[in-house]
Structure 1
Amino acid sequence: MLHLRVLSPPELTDRVRGLLAAEPGSAHLTVLPGAAVAPPGDVVEAVLTRECADGVLAELVELRLDQLGVITLETLDTVLSDAADRAEAAVPGDPADAVIWDDLVARSGEESRLSISFLAFLTIACLLAAIGAITDSPVTVVGAMVLGPEFGPLAALAVGLVLRRGDLCRRAGLALAVSFPVAMVITGVVGALFHATGLLQRTTLDNLAQVDFIYKVGPFSLIIALLAGAAGMLSLTSAKSGALVGVFISVTTVPAAAFVAVAALEGRWDRALASAVQLLVNLAGVVVAAALVLWFSPSARSDRAVRKRGSGG
Structure 2
Amino acid sequence: MLHLRILVPSDRTRAVTDLIGATVGTAHLVVLPGAARDPAGDVVLCDVAREAGDELLHGLRELRIDHDGAIAVENIDLSMSERADAAEEEAPGEGADAVIWEQLAEATHEESTLSFTYLSFMVLATMIAACGVVLDNAILIVGAMAVGPEFGPLAGVCTAIVQRAPRLAARALVALLIGFVAAIVATTLFSLLMDRLDLFSESMLDGARPQTSFIWQPDPFSLVVALLAGAAGTLSLTSSKSGALVGVAISVTTVPAAANAAVALGYGEVGQMWGSIEQLLLNLAAILVSGTATLALQKKLWHTQRGKLRRRLRRG
Q: TM-score range by the shorter chain?
A: over 0.9
Describe the SS at the equivalent of 2:35. Answer: strand
Further displaced range: 210-219 or 192-201: 192-201
User: C-alpha distance in 1, partners of 2:197/2:106?
Assistant: 46
**Matches of residues 1-313 of structure 1 in structure 2 within 5 Å?**
1-206=1-206, 207-297=208-298, 298-300=301-303
| Paired residues, number | 302
User: C-alpha distance in 1, partners of 2:178/2:119?
Assistant: 9
> What is the identity, as a one-letter code, of the residue corresponding to 2:10?
P
Where in structure 2 are there 5+ consecutive unaligned residues? 307-316
Tell me how far 1:23 sits from its aligned partner: 1.6
* 8 Å CA contact 1:4, 1:47 repeated in 2: yes
User: C-alpha distance in 2, partners of 1:213/1:54?
Assistant: 43
* 8 Å CA contact 1:99, 1:300 repeated in 2: no
- Tell me: CA distance 1:63–1:222, structure 2 relative to 1, closer, same or farther (3 Å): same
User: C-alpha distance in 1, partners of 2:243/2:254?
Assistant: 20
Tell me how far 1:24 sits from its aligned partner: 2.3
User: C-alpha distance in 2, partners of 1:88/1:266?
Assistant: 60
User: C-alpha distance in 1, partners of 2:281/2:302?
Assistant: 30
Tell me how far 1:204 sits from its aligned partner: 1.1
Describe the SS at the equivalent of 1:103. Answer: helix
User: C-alpha distance in 1, partners of 2:142/2:260?
Assistant: 14
Q: Deviations over 1:149-194 (max 9, x none)?
A: 1100100110000111011101101101111111111100011111
* 8 Å CA contact 2:233, 2:248 repeated in 1: yes
Give the aligned CA root-mean-square deviation in angstroms. Answer: 1.1
* 8 Å CA contact 1:7, 1:39 repeated in 2: yes
Describe the SS at the equivalent of 2:159. Answer: helix
> What is the identity, as a one-letter code, of the residue corresponding to 2:302?
S
Describe the SS at the equivalent of 1:208. Answer: coil
Tell me how far 1:197 sits from its aligned partner: 2.1
User: C-alpha distance in 2, partners of 1:276/1:24?
Assistant: 50
User: C-alpha distance in 1, partners of 2:280/2:297?
Assistant: 26
User: C-alpha distance in 2, partners of 1:85/1:275?
Assistant: 52
User: C-alpha distance in 2, partners of 1:189/1:197?
Assistant: 13
* 8 Å CA contact 1:5, 1:45 repeated in 2: yes
User: C-alpha distance in 2, partners of 1:90/1:237?
Assistant: 22
Tell me how far 1:299 sits from its aligned partner: 1.2
Describe the SS at the equivalent of 1:241. Answer: coil
* 8 Å CA contact 2:189, 2:266 repeated in 1: no
How many percent of aligned residue pairs carry the same amino acid?
A: 47
Q: Deviations over 1:2-21 (max 9, x none)?
A: 00111000111000000101
Where in structure 1 are there 5+ consecutive unaligned residues? 304-313
* 8 Å CA contact 1:294, 1:300 repeated in 2: no
> What is the identity, as a one-letter code, of the residue corresponding to 1:283?
L
User: C-alpha distance in 1, partners of 2:11/2:161?
Assistant: 37
Describe the SS at the equivalent of 1:299. Answer: helix
> What is the identity, as a one-letter code, of the residue corresponding to 1:173?
L
Q: Deviations over 1:209-262 (max 9, x none)?
A: 110121110111111111001000101111211100110010100000111110
> What is the identity, as a one-letter code, of the residue corresponding to 1:272?
M
Q: Which runs of 4+ in 1 moved over 6 A?
A: none
User: C-alpha distance in 2, partners of 1:190/1:24?
Assistant: 57
User: C-alpha distance in 2, partners of 1:171/1:32?
Assistant: 39
User: C-alpha distance in 1, partners of 2:276/2:95?
Assistant: 40
User: C-alpha distance in 2, partners of 1:134/1:205?
Assistant: 5
Tell me how far 1:300 sits from its aligned partner: 4.8
